[in-house]
Structure 1
Amino acid sequence: MTYEQLLYTVDGPLATITLNRPERMNALTKVLEAELRTAIEQAGRDVEVRAIVLTGAGRAFCAGMDMEELEVLPPEDIQAEQWMRPYDMNRRADYQTRYSYFPAASKPIISAINGAAAGLGLVMALYSDFRIASEKAVVATAFAKRGLIAEHGIAWMLPRIVGHTHATDLLLTSRKIDAQEALGMGLVNRVVPADELMATVQALAHSLSTEVSPRSVGVMKRQLWEAPYQSLGEAITLANAEMVESLRSEDFAEGVAHFVERRPAQFSGR
């Protein structure tokens, strides 16, 4: 498939999606948003792909919504059908919203934050499973400085990642923070030199693709996203059911075999 505003490449088990509007700091347009969803869904369908990397071209990860497009965006567009069509009807209603294709993807998504991540750019990073930042990265919620509110679930997501105190600070002040402060808050997993960012992310993606069961990763990702809505008892009941299925899986048999035989794993994802 050909994309206009992003680059999509596959290298073995790794799909890399690069937001490609560097002259606009990869700010989102309707076209780019639609292409991003399509690209993540494409990676999800590809049986050879086991991890997805999201990054930005040039000096920014994503500066949020393109202000020129936002200026003429009708208020009712926020509920437009193109954004609200469901992702996975087996998931709860909470995960049928605009960026739910991130948690709906069974494969891990790694955001390689190479520069500025603001507004919706930060929201997308929060929906990712891993966030690795360049030492040059800067993040900001930005919404209050545009007369907006905490969009697309960030008021739910951010406190669960950094805690209520830090979330209140970042949302209400809209101040910019550097990569090290983001690391201290727990907003990102790791900070690395700019010239090591993609190598670090690719190493993580390779580990996720070859050293652990993709079936296990997919199930555990779903467990993590479902857990905030469950009691401990409900989480244990689900885990027990999934455990029975995992014991029947090819990947469980391979997990035992490669350990006993002291050889690299060859997980099938089944």
Structure 2
Amino acid sequence: MSEVLLVNDADGVRTLVLNRPDAYNSMTSALKEELIAAIRAAAGDGSVRALVITGAGKAFCAGQDLREHIKLLQAGDPAPLRTVEEHYNPLITTLMELPKPVIAAVNGTAAGAGASLAYACDLRVATESAKFLMAFANVGLTADSGASWTLPRLIGYGRAMEMMLLGQPVRAEEALRIGMVNQVVPDGEALKVAQELAGRMATGPTTAYAKIKEAMRRSAAAALSEALEVEARTQAEAGATADHREAVQAFVEKREPRFTGR
């Protein structure tokens, strides 16, 4: 069993816990590789109908492990300069293309690539003490892990640029106000609330969720004509599912639908 990434399953929900609490769950090469593998495994596991990502201890994820990073730089190892292409890009692509809903339970600080990881999830539940920090410029770097794409789409170009250039933290209540997170809960409650929400979605029309995710992602940077084409295709695909027929039948019969994800 992995020590840096914990995996728990319950009622169709898989929870991934970044487990380096003493280092604020900062990402080493080992953690990045295990996280990519775990998300890919969730994509291919039919028993997993929703995914929750959180961190152990007091932080969600502090981003890149700079201790590992500086040791490699000082040793002349080229690995730090390759990690965006080898780790962060595949991680974000795999997460955003996962055909299942993903919820980030942000239980504390989310900084740099850790904040970017939360932005790449479909929904974000944050504790009252959580904060988001785009710390790249503070260490002489630029954005990675998809933040230049995801963050402006959540909060707008101007506010995203402010976070990137000034490196000032945004606390939970402000994050909620500007649309960075979907819900703020008391400290210690983020994982419970996220798992309850994921559990509810796990009983829903998961194929339709996958099609919604695809249409939203494709349309985010598309012309109207392309967005309409994607909507037409994904709607036709969703309309052909057993879940759609069940939902319509349930509506007619005035009962709750029983979704199977097919």
Task: Provide the TM-score with structure 1 as the length reference.
Answer: 0.89
Aligned mates of 2:41, 2:145 — CA distance in 1: 23
Q: Deviations over 1:140-194 (max 9, x none)?
A: 0111111111223322221111112211111111111211111122111111111
Matched residue, 1:241: 233
Residue of structure 1 equivalent to 2:61? 62
Q: Measure, in 1, the Cα distance between the counterparts of 2:211 and 2:130.
A: 31
Aligned match of 1:224: 216
Look up the equivalent residue of 2:32 and give its one-letter code: E
CA distance in 1 between partners of 2:84 and 2:136 (Å): 24
Match for residue 141 of structure 2 among 148, 155, 172: 148
SS of corresponding position for 2:255? coil
1:83 and 2:108 equivalent? no
Q: SS where residue 114 of structure 2 aligns?
A: helix
Shift in alpha-carbon separation, 1:206–1:178, aligned structure 2, 3 A: same
Aligned mate of 2:156, from 147, 163, 177: 163
- Equivalent runs, 1:3-152 vs 2, <5 Å: 3-73=2-72, 74-75=77-78, 77-79=80-82, 83=86, 97-152=90-145
2:233 maps to amino acid: A
Indicate how the Cα distance of structure 1 residues 206 and 254 shifts in structure 2: closer, same or farther if over 3 A, else same. Answer: same
SS in 1 for 2:188: helix
Asked if the contact 2:218–2:230 (Cα under 8 Å) also holds between the matched residues in 1, the reply is: no
Aligned match for 2:186, one of 187, 193, 210: 193
How many pairs were matched up?
Answer: 258
Q: Equivalent pairs: percent with the same residue?
A: 36
Cα deviations across residues 180-231 of structure 1 (Å, max 9, x unaligned)? 1111221111111113322221221122112x31010001101111112321
Structure 2: where are the runs of 5+ without partners? none
Counterpart residue number, 1:265: 257
What stretches of structure 1 of length at least 5 have no aligned partner?
A: 86-95
Question: What residue in structure 2 maps to residue 88 of structure 1?
Answer: none
Letter in structure 2 aligned against 1:190: Q
Residue 80 and residue 165 in structure 1: after superposition, are their counterparts in 2 closer, same or farther (change >3 A)?
closer
C-alpha displacement at 1:20, in angstroms? Answer: 0.3
Q: Report the Cα offset of residue 256 of structure 1.
A: 1.1
Cα distance between partner residues in 2 of 1:97 and 1:10: 24
Q: Which amino acid aligns with 2:103?
A: I
Cα distance in 1, alignment partners of residues 154 and 177 from structure 2: 12
Whole-Å Cα distance in 1 between the matches of residues 199 and 252 of structure 2? Answer: 23
Give the Cα–Cα distance (whole angstroms) in 2 for the partners of residues 152 and 46 of structure 1.
Answer: 25
